[in-house]
Structure 1
Amino acid sequence: MKRTYTDQEMIRILKQELVIPDKVDQGMQDAYKKLGIKRSGKISFARKHRMWHVLAAAAVIAAGSSIVVVAANKFLSANLVKEKDSVAYDLTIDRGQTAHKIEVTPTYIPAGYELGAENTPYAGKWHNQETGGTLVISSMNAAELDEQIRLGNAKQLTHGMKEKNLVEELELNGTKAALFMPDSAFVDSTEERLDMMLFNEDEGYLVTIYNSSLPKDEVMKIARGLDIQVLDSTVSYKTDAEINSILAEQEASQKQLQAEMAPHALAGNNFFSAGTELKVPFLPAEDGTKPEDIRYTVESVEVKDRLPASEYPAENFHDYDGEMAAWLNEDGTLKPHERYKYTLNPDGSESGDPVVETVNSKFVVVNMKLKNNNEVNQFGDDVMVCPLIEYLTVDGNAYSKSYTKEYRRANEDYHLQTDGFPVYFDKMYNTEGTKRAKSFHFVPMQPGEELEYTLVYVVDEDRLDNAFFHFYSGYGGWPIPEGGNEFVYVKVQQ
């Protein structure tokens, strides 16, 4: 339901905005009559039909020209601070005022956008199936904003934003609004994402509009059409003890994550040569069920500049037309692509902004043999045929693993190295539609069955010395049986 106010409550609210002399306050009662406001009943209060200006007029009539109006404490103070390398909100909440739940309902949504159903990737979001556009409208009441302020997260609202990303500051429906255009994640993206933040300093709330592809005029129409209601339901502010508890939990989680993500050395028994049959260890089930016994052998590896179509037909690529063709030169070599290079701290975390590099790539052709050595397929017939390409730090004969990616793709439509998967498999079983897209690297195999096949990967030529075939092990992060291996690697360049 909508929040309602008695006349006395509205006077109290007004006093938070105006300092009114006693004689003016006394005379306001007579001024009510002149303005036609009745003394009984309640006023239904929606965002677009405010009454505070009427009360202010009452004060002016009562005081004549002698009234002195000064700024008083607002429920929420939201000031956008522009610095050399950032723009961020300086936020303050007056916890002396009661926080209320708010309800936000859009009255205008562009054609083609539908609200995603629960249990789907677009739950709670508007999505345009045809264009791929996504629209998210979210809100934070005063108690939620206060919690984020006290946790030190206020600057995260505009994380990564600089003054160049600030399109416009404006007043909109009684809110202090700002329109941002975040930098694209890709150097060649043609989309211009626009986000909007709307702070209501009188009622202490924030509404944000996140949109992936709509133009400015559409974002403005959405914002102007928002029906924002302050409800009777109240929300408690976090106590100091609760805030301190959350901060302590966050600090402990951060330390644990840093320890887990920090680079660590790998033992020599994690590395194998081509030609060796690899028994990849998997944890036994809690009920004692025997783990799968799948044997892999990397028979040969060759780095190539091009792949002759007669030897590597297009139908064996994961998606030749959609992924591969655009990145091939006429002579069959790979076109250069852009990537982001991040500087990593000793603990594996990122430092500063990434650098854009233009690099060349090579094809890595690997001939494999796989054997289903199970007596019974306890977990289904599907077997993953491919290791993944992973990059390790190599220092002589010492190897270390980092969980932070030093390099990431900078081209929007570049998918040739996604997660280290191969782009080509000549014994593909799932060849159609969704199964091809999601499961092209799986084949059904019966116990005792063997399969010989060829995989092709794409690797940047300056990273070939650090590239390894990584065979997944179920022992990652768990106690390893004596003589076992946490990781199983074969070096790409022998």
Structure 2
Amino acid sequence: MKKEYSDKEIKQILKKEAELPECVEKKIQAAYQEISMDSKVTMKYLKTYRIRKMAVIAAVMVAAVGLAGFAANEFLKVNIKEDTKNAEKILYNIQVDTQKEAHKIKVTPTYMPQGYVYGDETSAYGGKWHNYDTDSGITIVPVNAAELYWGERTGNSVYRESFAKSDYVEEIEIDGQRQDIFVEAKAPYVDADKKIINIFLTNEEYGYMVWISSETTLGKEELLKVAKGLQIEVLDETESYATEEEIEKELAMQREDKETQEKEKEEKIKYGIPIENIYKTGDVIRNPFLTEDMGVPEENIEYMVQDIQIADSLDMEKYPSENYCSYEEVAPWVNEDGTLKTHFRYTYAMTAEGQTEEEPRLEEVSSKYVIVKMKVKNVSGMNNESVNLAPDLIVKEEREDGGLSCYGPTFFPANEEYSLQWGSGDGASFPIYIDQMYYTEGIERIKSSLYRPLADQEELEYTLVYVADADVLDSMYLKFYVSYAEEMLNGNWITNPYVKVTE
């Protein structure tokens, strides 16, 4: 019998998200906690095992540390010490003795809490154990010495170099194995009885790490049972350490990327979004990125914002549920009178220099509907099978010159089931409603409800509805051609066009 997936499961399949919630995505390193352990391991000759690569990587630049002396039976050396610059932090790093072979490992849990089922590659939670009743998950990631060494030398690591002392719960010993437990001190959501628990098992003798991560309603004792029951097999198959040439190539690429990012950042700070790129309702908006050197002809699409209205509520007869991208996600947040319920959000403020606050502000806020009447026209000279009908809705801050800053605050939901805003990049939002939906069924509706084909010279008028928090309405803009980004091209500074929501 064919399995039917819910919208939520389909979105999981499409996104392949990590178990960590969006609200901590900006500080994702805080969930990567480490531990050292002396483990009992069985050596076996097995067929080639295709190890599951690191599914989630924290891009933490960790300075390579020169190897200290290793004892005869030591493969890894784990160093944990207090941060001399911040007494509330702990510093952590791993060194690998590359004189020993890096064997791949296979990890099989022999204990899993009741209700957790493993998802195969085709499921919504592929490669993870998931409890559908509590919407909780457990992920187990094995990492061999070669992968640890690559992370140590290049900064592409599965562990972080610094974490809060308050998250370090305790050190215990099970069957001679040291296990350090880290529980995120702050709950990810204000309305869910869940914790983020990480247990990192580092075997210093055989040279591997196993990371157990979970956003769960379980206590740490249950996760420890999972850790205790792991069957860890060191395989005969080995993995080569990266050569100095490979490492230098990666580091050179990182330096080049960093230089490019710094240059782009300087340009964004200097030029921002010029006032001439801020349009008004009734203006024809054309794609500024379609030059001889950039863009593709079929993306020559013109837009016009005909009208924008702010509303406290929506009439269901005028805005029927079938036109919502996912009414089941909206309905729980609508009061009986049609107004929107208050919700909690995390706000990460950002300076004009593009620096993000380390800690977010938790705020309870009210929201309104932003109703946008639109017109689109395909002027490309060819048919386009996938025209984006929906600009992003984003908060932008005004500069002294009347233009906009390229940088602005970022928002994340603090309610577990809230998804009415911030689904796009840079803290922007998609609309929740479109009255000219072309793809109306199944997975196509979820993937492409905001897209449709347009023949050459075809025009379409339609209505979009967004949700926006009331306290930032005066800083809200519609952002067009979101697949492009600000760029200096042939000496010309090109940015996305914007339309202010409120006058």
TM-score of the superposition, structure 2-length normalised? 0.71
Structure 1 residue 406 corresponds to structure 2 residue 406: no
Partner residue of 1:157 out of 146, 156, 159: 159
Using the TM superposition, give the Cα deviation of residue 152 of structure 1 relative to its aligned residue in structure 2, in angstroms: 6.5
Using the TM superposition, give the Cα deviation of residue 472 of structure 1 relative to its aligned residue in structure 2, in angstroms: 0.5
Partner residue of 2:462 out of 448, 453, 458: 453
Q: Is the 8 A contact 2:433 2:466 kept in 1?
A: yes
Q: Distance in 1 between matches of 2:413 and 2:295?
A: 42
1:316 aligned residue: 323
What are the ranges of 5 or more consecutive residues in structure 1 without an aligned counterpart? 1-44, 50-70
Name the SS of the counterpart of 2:329 in structure 1.
helix
Q: Distance in 2 between matches of 1:147 and 1:474?
A: 32
Alignment length, in residue pairs?
A: 423
Q: Which amino acid aligns with 2:226?
A: I
Deviations 1:268-299 (A, max 9, x none): 33122111222334647999974344332211
Using the TM superposition, give the Cα deviation of residue 410 of structure 1 relative to its aligned residue in structure 2, in angstroms: 2.2
Partner residue of 1:270 out of 273, 277, 285: 277
Q: Is the 8 A contact 2:200 2:212 kept in 1?
A: yes
1:385 aligned residue: 389
Q: Distance in 2 between matches of 1:231 and 1:430?
A: 48
Q: Distance in 1 between matches of 2:346 and 2:161?
A: 19
Deviations 1:19-51 (A, max 9, x none): xxxxxxxxxxxxxxxxxxxxxxxxxx97269xx
Partner residue of 1:423 out of 401, 421, 432: 432
Using the TM superposition, give the Cα deviation of residue 402 of structure 1 relative to its aligned residue in structure 2, in angstroms: 2.9
Q: Distance in 2 between matches of 1:481 and 1:260?
A: 14
Partner residue of 1:211 out of 210, 214, 234: 214
1:101 aligned residue: 103
Q: Distance in 1 between matches of 2:274 and 2:486?
A: 14
Using the TM superposition, give the Cα deviation of residue 101 of structure 1 relative to its aligned residue in structure 2, in angstroms: 1.1
Structure 1 residue 78 corresponds to structure 2 residue 110: no
Q: Which amino acid aligns with 1:47?
A: V
Structure 1 residue 190 corresponds to structure 2 residue 193: yes
Q: Which amino acid aligns with 1:324?
A: V
Q: Distance in 2 between matches of 1:135 and 1:86?
A: 26
Using the TM superposition, give the Cα deviation of residue 492 of structure 1 relative to its aligned residue in structure 2, in angstroms: 0.9
Q: Is the 8 A contact 1:280 1:473 kept in 2?
A: no
Partner residue of 1:179 out of 178, 181, 201: 181
Q: Distance in 2 between matches of 1:160 and 1:340?
A: 22
1:432 aligned residue: 441
Q: Distance in 1 between matches of 2:437 and 2:358?
A: 42
Q: Distance in 1 between matches of 2:367 and 2:439?
A: 28
Q: Which amino acid aligns with 1:489?
A: Y
Partner residue of 1:466 out of 446, 451, 475: 475
Q: Distance in 1 between matches of 2:299 and 2:356?
A: 38
Q: Distance in 1 between matches of 2:395 and 2:295?
A: 34
Q: Is the 8 A contact 1:104 1:139 kept in 2?
A: yes
Q: Distance in 1 between matches of 2:413 and 2:132?
A: 25
What is the root-mean-square deviation of aligned Cα atoms in Å? 3.8
2:346 aligned residue: 340
Quickly say closer, same or farther: Cα 1:229–1:435, change in 2 above 3 A: closer
Q: Distance in 2 between matches of 1:287 and 1:77?
A: 49
Q: Distance in 2 between matches of 1:288 and 1:168?
A: 55
Using the TM superposition, give the Cα deviation of residue 261 of structure 1 relative to its aligned residue in structure 2, in angstroms: 4.8
What are the ranges of 5 or more consecutive residues in structure 2 without an aligned counterpart? 1-38, 44-69
Quickly say closer, same or farther: Cα 1:346–1:426, change in 2 above 3 A: closer
2:311 aligned residue: 304
Name the SS of the counterpart of 1:414 in structure 2.
coil
Deviations 1:299-355 (A, max 9, x none): 1111222223343333322223x2222222333322222222224345313233112
1:35 aligned residue: none
Q: Distance in 1 between matches of 2:241 and 2:277?
A: 52
Matches of residues 214-363 of structure 1 in structure 2 within 5 Å? 215=218, 216-231=220-235, 246-261=250-265, 263-264=268-269, 265-281=272-288, 283=290, 290-320=297-327, 322-363=328-369
Worse overlay, 463-472 or 435-444: 435-444
The alignment-based identity, stated in percent, is: 34
1:58 aligned residue: none
Using the TM superposition, give the Cα deviation of residue 106 of structure 1 relative to its aligned residue in structure 2, in angstroms: 0.6
Q: Which amino acid aligns with 2:260?
A: Q
Quickly say closer, same or farther: Cα 1:231–1:48, change in 2 above 3 A: closer
Worse overlay, 223-232 or 143-152: 143-152
Using the TM superposition, give the Cα deviation of residue 416 of structure 1 relative to its aligned residue in structure 2, in angstroms: 1.5
Using the TM superposition, give the Cα deviation of residue 356 of structure 1 relative to its aligned residue in structure 2, in angstroms: 1.1
Q: Is the 8 A contact 1:167 1:178 kept in 2?
A: yes
Quickly say closer, same or farther: Cα 1:287–1:388, change in 2 above 3 A: closer
Quickly say closer, same or farther: Cα 1:103–1:266, change in 2 above 3 A: same
Quickly say closer, same or farther: Cα 1:483–1:100, change in 2 above 3 A: closer
Q: Distance in 2 between matches of 1:159 and 1:252?
A: 23
Using the TM superposition, give the Cα deviation of residue 442 of structure 1 relative to its aligned residue in structure 2, in angstroms: 2.2
Using the TM superposition, give the Cα deviation of residue 222 of structure 1 relative to its aligned residue in structure 2, in angstroms: 2.8
Matches of residues 35-114 of structure 1 in structure 2 within 5 Å? 47=41, 75=74, 76-78=76-78, 80-81=80-81, 84-89=87-92, 91-93=94-96, 98-108=100-110, 110=112, 112-114=116-118
Name the SS of the counterpart of 1:171 in structure 2.
strand
Quickly say closer, same or farther: Cα 1:359–1:81, change in 2 above 3 A: same
Q: Distance in 1 between matches of 2:449 and 2:222?
A: 40
Quickly say closer, same or farther: Cα 1:404–1:108, change in 2 above 3 A: farther
TM-score of the superposition, structure 1-length normalised? 0.72
Higher relative contact order (CA 8 A, sep 6+): 2
Q: Which amino acid aligns with 1:384?
A: N
Worse overlay, 426-435 or 85-94: 85-94
Using the TM superposition, give the Cα deviation of residue 413 of structure 1 relative to its aligned residue in structure 2, in angstroms: 1.7
Deviations 1:97-144 (A, max 9, x none): 5243141231426365235338x8856544566765443322334454
Quickly say closer, same or farther: Cα 1:365–1:383, change in 2 above 3 A: same
